[in-house]
Structure formats: structure tokens, C-alpha cells
Amino acid sequence: MTYLLGFITALVLSMTIIPLMVRLAPRIGMIDRPDQRKVHAEPIPRAGGVGIVLGALAPLVLWLPLDALSGAYLFGALVLLAFGVWDDIQELGHYVKFIGQFIAVGAVVYYGDLYVTHLPFVAGELEEFTGKVFTVIAMVGMINAVNHSDGLDGLAGGMSLLSLSAMAYLSYLADGEASFLIIVALATLGGIVGFLRYNTHPARVFMGDGGSQFLGFTAGFLAVLLVEKVNTAVSPALPALLLGLPIVDILAVFAQRVYHGMNWFRASKNHIHHRLLALGFDHYEAVVIIYSIQTFFVISAIFLMYESDALILSIYLGVCALVFAFLIVAEKNRWRATKSQRPTGLAKIIDSIKQHRLFSAIPMRFVSLAIPVLFVLTGFMASRIPRDLGVVSAVLVVILLVYLALRRARDTTVLQVVAYVTAAFVVYLETQYCKQWAPYLDTIEVVYFVLLVAAIGITIRYGSKAEFKTTPMDYLIIFVVLFAGFLLHNLPEKAELGGMAVKLMILFYGCELIITRMRKLVHLLTFATLTTLATIAVRGLI
């Protein structure tokens, strides 16, 4: 339950803080202005990192015991946030940013006592001095790798989401420091998911250095923690697959800068994502291609974690070589991605079907009714309500009532966040405390969610309105949740977590679909959310 609350808390805080920072950003100068090396054409606030970091750190402060390692991590994250925000306002030089990075990493390595003790192909343990120096250099390198990969909407956040999800899953299979790693990973994932809803193309906000440096720091920190303390039996080469494409990308960029006599630290347009755009891929295509490569890496890490260093590095370097070989050959031959603008016969058939009432109205009405009914029924049917859910629900009831009293017609952010949290509570209660009501409830549940998925899919794909648009982030989250469900299903003691993740994803998309099509805030979903939270609050507190 702590893991779920950590993710939800981070998600809610991230989605709440970011809109506030977007409004504040122009006043304090946190604006990313276009130039020749950037792909956006309009000034964009780069304040999203504040929401990611504060959202991710809040659950750690609330639920983690403070020791040397967790204290060092929190200190390092705040240092990077401070330097990152400073840079987002004032454009610091590279050497000033390095100061913040070395302070943050040094705290983890020398005060938290976390460092690399084994390297691939090296027999025996490294000396403490050598291991600590190597870890500092490697983690600072990872901070900059993610920082430099933040060049397209959703790119750095999406790749970090994949890496952290894989590390969280691998920690479920281990003991030791696993709980610490899992809650850090899930809290950070909550912050990322909250941010990505504002950052998918065309982005309304960038994470800036405050966010990208934190994500690189967290990814590097958790990778070392995983192989050094959580599961020391895995290959020391595993972080290469877990961290994936940003590592080889920044190394290749540095190599090109050295070869061409350029400034090593001056930003340029020769990253993988820039080269894909230059080949004619559009923004979404470039992001999805990179997501796919990163996905292959993290899946390989999951299935090959106990394999030899040679096999792991061969797969990593082989895929990287194929990627760069494709880029080099395509660039030399001036190949361009081509797109046909003429609609196909299938597209014409689908366009005509879209106009039919069966696809334009009925599925949406089913979604609008089915989710509120599930909310309300679960609140009443649960055999027990944990007290912590009751407390949080009571707070959310007050927030939602104040929001409705002061509502702004076009601002549904608060309703969306509260509906998401309610969906998470409903899934947890339905899974843990509703099985006693009917012997065939499992079958009813499967039928319900299959019908809901079908209705959501038909409405998104064939509905006449276009407020809800799928993005690379949607494909990313769908993959992560479904793959997590598949993996957790194979662990008997944790199988229910996979099912909960899948159901939660379905309800998230259903709630968003309803909210994007609401004409008024006084809606069945709003009433059901308020009723469900009030029920959970009363039952959990009495």
C-alpha cells in the first residue's frame, strides 16, 4: 500500500505543482526561448522539473526512514534541483553546473557509502578509492546523459520511465534494500507521469535542467543500488541495458565533437533524436523509435540479468552499432522517410464507419456510466476501508468541494487529479476487499473491463470528437503497464499487482476520456467521485 500511495502522492503533487509553475515561470525567467539548435518555435516554460522533483521527494520524506543513504539521496536531489532551477532562470556555465553535480553525487558516494565494487570482466572487488572515484564519474556522466537527451517532447521523461520501471520490477524479485529502491522508483515514476501529460508534443512545459538532472541522478543512483545492494548476483554489466540509449548517445556526441574540434560541452544538434528528425521522421516518429530501442534494452535487462557480462554487453553494443550504422548509411545516401498523403481504401471505410451512431455515441455513453457506477459500488461494497485511505479521501473531498465552488469553466486539472486518485483507491479496494460479495465476481470483473477497454478504444479511434489524442506517452504507458502485468502475473505472491496496474491504466484513460468531453463540471463522474471519496472517508474513519 505504501508503494501505491507513494506513486499517487507524487502523481498528484506533480500534476498540481506544474500548472502553478507554468504561470510563475514568465515572471522569474524560467522560459526556454527558440534558437537554431532547438526544435520548438515558441517560448516554452521550463519549470516542469520542480513538479517532478517535489512530487517524487514528498513520499520519501513521508514514508521512508531517514538514514545515511536516503539522507544523502534527498540532499543530492535538492542540490540538483537548486542548481537546475538556477540554470533554468539564468543559463549557468557548464562548470558551475558540474559543481552541483559533483556535490550531489559526492554526498551519495562518500556519505551514503554507495559505490561500485565490481566491473565487467574484472575479477575481484575494486579498491574503495577506485570504486568511489569511478562511481562519481559514472553518475555525473549519467546526469549529463539524461540532461542532453532532453531534446524532444516526452523523450527524457519517457526513457527514464522505462528504465525506472525495469529497476522497480527487478527489485520485486530481490530482498535487502529492495523496498527503498522500489519506493524511490515509484515515487519518481509518479512525478514523471504527472509531468508527461503536460510535456507530450506539442509541449506546454519543459522539465528543464531541474528535472533532467534529477532523473539522470536517480537513474544512476538506483542502478548502482540495484547491483551493489539489492541483488549482488546480477551481472555488473546490467546497468548498460537498464540505462540504455542515453549513455551511448552522449558518448557518440562527445566523440563527434572531439573529432570535429568542437567545444565538448556546448550543446549541438548531433544527438540521435536530431539525426532522426533530419532524416525526415516527424516528432512522434522519432520519439517512438527511441522509445522502442530503450524498451528493447530494458526488456533484455529483465530477462538476461543473470547472464554473462560478455552476452549483456554484446547485445547492448550490437544494438547501438546497428542504430548508428543505420544513421550513417541513411545520411550518406541522403535517405528520407517518406509519407503518403493519399488515403487508403481502408482509411475511407473507417472514415465512413466513424459517422455511424454505433461508434460515435453508444461506446462513450457506456464509459460515462460504467466508471461512475464502479466507483460508487466499490465504496459501498468493500468489506473494510484502511484508515489511511479514509484520511486521504476526507482531504480530497474538501479539495473537490472547494474546487467546485470556485470552479473555472475550462480548468479541469483538479478534477482530473482527484478522479485519478479515486480510481487508484477503487482498484485497490475492489481487488483486496470486494471478493466476498459474489462467487462469480472475478468473471464479472473480467467482462466489465473487457467491455470498458473496447468502449474506450472505439471512442478514441472512431469517435467524432478530437479532444482526446493518443500520443507517444500513451503507447509508452500502455506498454509499461501491460508488460508489468504480464511479468507480475508470473509471480504468484505478487500476481494481483499486475492486474491492479492494468485495471488502473484502463480507468485512468476512461476518466480522462470522460473529462475531455464534459461540457460542465457538474457531471455524473464528478458526483460519483465525490460520493465515493465521502463513503471511503466516513467508513475509513469511523
d(CA 49, CA 216): 12
Among the ranges given (110-124, 167-181, 243-257, 277-291), the one the predictor scored with the smallest mean pLDDT: 167-181
Bigger pLDDT: 219 vs 254: 219
Residue 232 and residue 349 share a domain: no
Residue 352 and residue 206 share a domain: no
Residue 234 and residue 353 share a domain: no
Residue 363 and residue 219 share a domain: no
Residue 313 lies in a domain: no
Q: What is the pLDDT of residues 22-39, one digit of tens each?
A: 888 888 888 877 665 555
Residue 236 and residue 356 share a domain: no
Q: State residue 534's pLDDT score.
A: 94
**Contact call for residues 246 and 146 (beta carbons, < 8 A):** yes
Q: With bands split at pLDDT 50, 70 and 90, how would you rate the model's confidence at 256?
A: confident
Bigger pLDDT: 58 vs 467: 58
d(CA 224, CA 216): 12
Q: What is the pLDDT of residues 476-523, one digit of tens each?
A: 666 666 666 556 555 555 556 667 777 887 888 888 888 888 777 678
147 labeled part of a ligand binding site: yes
Residue 482 has φ and ψ, to the nearest 5°, of: -65, -40
How much of the chain exceeds pLDDT 90, in percent? 38
Q: What is the pLDDT of residues 189-233, one digit of tens each?
A: 989 988 887 877 677 888 889 899 999 999 999 999 999 999 988
Residue 260 lies in a domain: no
Q: State residue 16's pLDDT score.
A: 84
Bigger pLDDT: 262 vs 462: 262
Residue 248 lies in a domain: no
Where is the domain boundary, 241, 259, 279? 241
Residue 365 and residue 218 share a domain: no
Look up residue 539 and give its three cell numbers: 467508513
d(CA 250, CA 142): 9
Among the ranges given (155-159, 352-356, 367-371), the one the predictor scored with the smallest mean pLDDT: 352-356
Nearest 10 degrees: Cα torsion 165, 166, 167, 170: 120
318: pLDDT strictly greater than 70:
yes
d(CA 531, CA 517): 21
Q: With bands split at pLDDT 50, 70 and 90, how would you rate the model's confidence at 372?
A: very high
Q: State residue 346's pLDDT score.
A: 47
Where is the domain boundary, 241, 273, 301? 241
Q: With bands split at pLDDT 50, 70 and 90, how would you rate the model's confidence at 466?
A: very low
Look-up: residue for cell 515558441? 42
Bigger pLDDT: 73 vs 150: 73
Which residue from 280, 320, 272 is spatially nearest to 296, judged by alpha carbons? 320
Q: What is the 3-state secondary structure (H, E, C) of 503-541?
A: HHHHHHHHHHHHHHCCCCCCCHHHHHHHHHHHHHHHHHH
% helix, strand, coil for the chain, step of 5: 75, 0, 25
Average confidence (pLDDT) over 296-306: 92
379: pLDDT strictly greater than 60:
yes
Among the ranges given (6-20, 63-77, 236-250), the one the predictor scored with the smallest mean pLDDT: 6-20
d(CA 319, CA 307): 17
Which residue from 172, 220, 519, 524 is spatially nearest to 375, judged by alpha carbons? 524
Residue 494 lies in a domain: yes
How many angstroms separate the first and last alpha carbons of the chain?
A: 20
Residue 132 lies in a domain: yes
Domain count, the chain: 2
The amino acid occupying position 372 is P
Q: State residue 93's pLDDT score.
A: 77
Range of 143's domain? 2-241
Q: What is the pLDDT of residues 392-442, one digit of tens each?
A: 899 889 988 888 887 655 567 788 888 888 998 998 888 888 866 556 677
Where is the domain boundary, 217, 241, 265? 241
Look up residue 541 and give its three cell numbers: 474513519
Residue 332 lies in a domain: no
Residue 225 and residue 351 share a domain: no
333 labeled part of a ligand binding site: no
d(CA 13, CA 190): 9
pTM of the model: 0.79
How much of the chain exceeds pLDDT 70, in percent? 82
Q: State residue 265's pLDDT score.
A: 64
d(CA 56, CA 88): 19
Residue 477 and residue 349 share a domain: yes
Angle in degrees, CA 286, 291, 296, rounded to 5? 130
Residue 204 and residue 57 share a domain: yes
Residue 405 lies in a domain: yes
The amino acid occupying position 388 is D
Q: What is the pLDDT of residues 166-181, one digit of tens each?
A: 999 888 887 645 689 9
Instruction: Return mean pLDDT, the chain.
Output: 83
Residue 229 and residue 357 share a domain: no
Residue 326 lies in a domain: no
Residue 369 and residue 237 share a domain: no
**Contact call for residues 189 and 171 (beta carbons, < 8 A):** no
